Amino acid sequence: MKRIICKNYDEVSLLGAEILAKQIHKNPQSILGLATGSTPVGMYKKLVEMHKKNGLDFSQITTFNLDEYYPIKKSSDQSYDFFMRDNLFSHVNIKPENIHLPNGESANPEEECIAYEQMLAESGGVDIQVLGIGVNGHIGFNEPEDELKLATHLTNLTPSTIEANARFFKNIKDVPTKALTMGIGTIMKSKSILLLITGGNKAPVVKKLFSGVVTTDVPASFLHLHPDVTVLLDEAAVTAENR
């Protein structure tokens, strides 16, 4: 794992956007794996700026998002589908048919997961997968459990994730309790991974992530087994002992 400590959230966002832009320049037909949540919002803003000011071209880019709540309507402003349109897709020249998210409206979530995994495989695989990390160590919605699932699956969200995500909803009772998520194996198949970690609330999980073990208690720790992971952290997420 390559660790880069940035001064603050803005620096993480800029560097993250530069890494993605470099990938897009290197291969204009890149397959990007994308995440939602608060952490990548600044990075998406910078990518939109790069598109508007410097013509960063998304016309041949394909995207696969990590996860989506289940069940949820795409039109709901809490869906990840809405989030991605709002933060990135509506502001750049990506083709709608090249955008993929697990379908939170599917009547058959098990079939949806198999189809999503197949589409990913047929695409040739993700070139760079953007990840955030949950305060409990989850990546995507692979929550700490005795066993982690390899492939895309329907999962139950833990109380700590429901609590953390309640900030996006009027009432904690409105937070969906399930999600469709790429599995740990799906994520590990990406050719490279960009993990963004910002904010003091992530410092305890950063400490666990760099404690020198791989454990299903911290699903992100499996990333230590991937040959090409870059972790961008801000100062707030890193305590003195983790430097």
For residues 209 and 202, what is the distance between their CA atoms, to the nearest angstrom? Answer: 10
For residues 115 and 180, what is the distance between their CA atoms, to the nearest angstrom? Answer: 12
Residues 84-113 that bind ligand F6R (CB under 6 A): none
Closest separation in Å from C-beta 167 to ligand F6R = 8
Alpha helices in the chain (DSSP H): 9-26, 41-54, 80-87, 109-123, 159-165, 184-188, 203-209
- Of 29 and 90, which CB lies nearer to ligand F6R in the complex structure? 90
The three-state secondary structure class of 174 is: helix
List residues bridging with 34 in a β-sheet.
65
The dihedral through the CA atoms of 80, 114, 222, 159 has a sign that is positive
Count of CB atoms situated within 10 Å of the CB of 106:
18
Tell whether residue 78 is a contact of ligand F6R (CB under 6 A). no
Closest separation in Å from C-beta 17 to ligand F6R = 16
List the catalytic residues: 67, 136, 138, 143
- Of 120 and 139, which CB lies nearer to ligand F6R in the complex structure? 139
Residues 125-144 that bind ligand F6R (CB under 6 A): 132-134, 138-141
Closest separation in Å from C-beta 134 to ligand F6R = 4
The three-state secondary structure class of 177 is: coil
Among positions 16, 33, 37, 104, the unique one binding ligand F6R when judged by CB under 6 A: 37
Strands 99-100, 192-197: pairing kind: unpaired
Among positions 12, 24, 32, 35, the unique one binding ligand F6R when judged by CB under 6 A: 35
Closest separation in Å from C-beta 218 to ligand F6R = 13
Q: Give, as one character, the DSSP assignment of residue 144.
A: S
- Of 60 and 236, which CB lies nearer to ligand F6R in the complex structure? 236
- Of 24 and 179, which CB lies nearer to ligand F6R in the complex structure? 179
Residue count at the site for ligand F6R (CB under 6 A)? 14
Closest separation in Å from C-beta 160 to ligand F6R = 10
198-to-5, 126, 187, 195 alpha-carbon distances in Å: 10, 24, 21, 10
Binding-site ranges for ligand F6R (CB under 6 A):
35-39, 66-67, 132-134, 138-141
